[in-house]
Amino acid sequence: MKSAISFSLILFCMCFLQMSTSYTLCAQQTQQQQQQQQQTIKPSFPISEIIFIIQLLDKIELKGSEVDALLEVKSLLINPVVNAQKENKPITELLSIDFKVQQAQVLLSFLQRATLNGADAERYKRFIDTIIIAANPKK
């Protein structure tokens, strides 16, 4: 009888430890995901490339539930361009834009819906690659 109770107690402790470890790992993963979403990236683009991307975003199809997200990412692009135009900066000048990682992901998902012609493929790819490189700096 004592051995059955001891075995049950050992089994309970092992299960408890496993659940505790699983909970800790899950909490750590959630915390890491939250930190990544709050992380800011700061890619730089020529003003002309930002204008090109804004024009692409103007032409995509979206659902009503996506309007706020689109307006948010567009404003991240439009505001620096408007300020640069007020300062008469040339369209070849680089502008740095601050994105939270989650905002950059939303922008990239909208851009995947864009319809391009072949001549714009290199500009599009350069913009996308710049964001990806900014989000994944070499260590």
Three-state DSSP class for residue 16: helix
Write down the pTM of the prediction. Answer: 0.72
| Block residue for tokens 């199809």 | 61
Q: What is the pLDDT along the chain (139 residues), one digit of tens a residue?
A: 556 666 666 656 565 566 655 555 555 555 555 555 479 999 999 999 999 999 999 999 999 999 999 999 999 999 999 999 999 999 999 999 999 999 999 999 999 999 999 999 999 999 999 999 999 877 5
Structural element, H or E, at residue 95: strand 94-96
Q: CA distances (Å), 65 to each of 12, 62, 107, in order?
A: 47, 8, 15
